[in-house]
Structure 1
Amino acid sequence: MNLQPLHTEDIPSLIDLSASLGWDYSHPDLQTILTSGIAYGHKTPTGKLISSAAIFPYGPKLASLGMVMVDPAHRRLGLGQAATQKVMDSLPDKTTPITLVATEQGVPLYEKMGYRTVSTLHKFIAETYHTPQNPTKIPNHHHLQQLSKTHLDEILHLDRTALGADRGKFLQARLQQSNAGVILRRQTDNTAVGYALSIPGTVVTILGPVIAPDTDLALALIDHLARQTNGAVRIDIPSEQTALIEKLPLHGFILQATPPVMLFNANHLPQRNPTLYGIAAQAFG
């Protein structure tokens, strides 16, 4: 079996591999992954894709690992570890910290490779979003504006300080993929202080990143975007945002899982401010 780079022409095969695991990667998701990250996978002599892994370099301070998949008929052959190691080795700086969100089945593999758990995520899904009787409103000293490409520099700055790393290439691709987005501005000087994106999926709409100065403003961003969606809505919340985690069930969200956040090459995530209320997606951090 041949381990080789994956490109956009491999998207149909990646969709098939994803479906074999019960996952729901869409064509736009994979377009974003393959244009902003580095991906490898194993193919059989007949050309069938049976494994994959991808890594997203965010400058020297952080990279994110995701899309680790192995065809169920080819498990326990070391393919997942080999593909994962290959994308890790593709980073130009071998000392770059690498983060990932692990599945329960993947934890032993990542621990074997030297990853350690440093945090958790709270994965919430609302099958039907409920706007509360008293919805969180934007205070008079803030206002929302529809997000566009002209705001890229502002959201890059907000994202950089929230995550502690530079995700410029990824965010450009994610902004193109989004079907809605808002930027939060302070009324007094029109400074951007938060933003959020809504990403359509094959099964659920993903809200993220969500970056805001406080919990109430994060809820206002979530409410604004969720009310525009049809069907299920998903958001993944860092464990330190306890106030938001407590309030989301009032909006129809149900906690589905608390997967571990793992880290390689470092003991803690890069220094960041407390404004990250929703991650982009588990593959991207």
Structure 2
Amino acid sequence: MADTEQIAIVQLSVEDALAGLALSTEAHWNQNEADWRFFLTRGNVFGVRDKDCHLIASAALLPYSSGNAWISMVLVTTNWRRRGLATKLVDACLAVAAKQGLTAWLDATPAGATVYGPLGFKPTLQLRRLRFENTMPPKAKARPSLLPCGIEKFTERDRLTMGFDRGPLLREISGRSSARLLSNGDAAALVRDGRKARHLGPLFAESPEHALAMVNEVVWCETGPLLIDAVYEQVEFLKGLIGSGWTIERPFQRMRFGPTTAPATELPFAVAGPEYG
């Protein structure tokens, strides 16, 4: 095997979307080609290729507003793991963030958190990914209680929960042909396609009861499996999901590298996903 000290880190382009998708598919992640294309056109995506020019590792830095950025898509193909490639690629992302004066965030698996902590990342909130198989038959139409949500209103709710604006991201995702931006009273949520399951989030509401009601309405009018990345600190909401038949797949730890740029004034019930924050 090649010495990883001699392996070059390269910047990827949109032509690498399918190669990136192959990496996340191997890892059983839910990202699809549209997600990869967004990162490759809007972010800084770094990779490592083997001697045959096959993509064997990746990491992405997606800039947001107000001096913030998200690190994700940290992937290494099976035969090249435990050789320091992920750390080298995250270092490349952090170098860009430092040069641009950005605070970097990420959502880490438990194994990832043990790597990122020594690099200087500090833990913030916790997440739990849950899955609902949703074997109910197709419905003719959505219930009347579910209404379209305007993108400007949704973006403002997201800004309150993140502390910074993610308008370009939310406009792109909600504009995909299969995505739906929904409201139910004071609750609002984004539902979008993934490779393995539809993803529900971000989700905002004034109470756990309203958040659960929104989830139940979405389940009623969707078919096939659903994923949600619930905020662990929303205890009653998480209990309600489990009581409704959702099962926990894995935890995530949100972490920050650098100072807090702007405090969030509202806690979401679910987030956009570990790749987007």
With normalisation by structure 2, the TM-score equals 0.85
The 1:247/1:224 distance shift into structure 2, 3 A limit, reads same
Please, which of 38, 44, 59 is the counterpart of residue 44 of structure 2? 38
The 1:270/1:236 distance shift into structure 2, 3 A limit, reads farther
1:272 is matched with: 264
**How much identity, in percent, do the aligned residues show?**
25
1:145 maps to amino acid: L
List per-residue Cα deviations over 1:56-93 (Å, max 9, x = no partner). Answer: 22223532211000122122332211211212222376
Cα contact 1:129–1:252 (8 A) shared by 2: no
Return the alpha-carbon distance in structure 2 between the equivalents of residues 230 and 183 of structure 1: 16
What is the correspondence of 1:164-203 to structure 2 with a 5 Å cutoff? 164-177=163-176, 179-184=178-183, 193-203=186-196
2:29 counterpart SS class = coil
With normalisation by structure 1, the TM-score equals 0.83
Return the alpha-carbon distance in structure 2 between the equivalents of residues 58 and 103 of structure 1: 22
Over aligned residues, Cα RMSD in angstroms?
A: 2.5
The 1:36/1:170 distance shift into structure 2, 3 A limit, reads farther
The 1:22/1:185 distance shift into structure 2, 3 A limit, reads closer
Per the TM alignment, residue 41 of structure 1 is displaced from its structure 2 partner at its CA by 0.7
2:222 counterpart SS class = coil
Return the alpha-carbon distance in structure 2 between the equivalents of residues 260 and 12 of structure 1: 28
Cα contact 1:61–1:164 (8 A) shared by 2: no
1:77 is matched with: 83
Number of aligned residues:
265
- Identify the range of structure 1 (68-77 vs 240-249) with the bigger mean alpha-carbon deviation: 68-77
1:98 is matched with: 104
Return the alpha-carbon distance in structure 1 between the equivalents of residues 153 and 88 of structure 2: 38
Which runs of 4 or more aligned residues in structure 1 lie more than 6 Å from their structure 2 counterparts after TM superposition?
Answer: none
Please, which of 246, 249, 253 is the counterpart of residue 253 of structure 1? 246
Per the TM alignment, residue 280 of structure 1 is displaced from its structure 2 partner at its CA by 0.3
Per the TM alignment, residue 233 of structure 1 is displaced from its structure 2 partner at its CA by 1.0
Per the TM alignment, residue 241 of structure 1 is displaced from its structure 2 partner at its CA by 0.9
Cα contact 1:128–1:252 (8 A) shared by 2: no
Per the TM alignment, residue 53 of structure 1 is displaced from its structure 2 partner at its CA by 0.6
The 1:180/1:164 distance shift into structure 2, 3 A limit, reads same
1:179 maps to amino acid: S
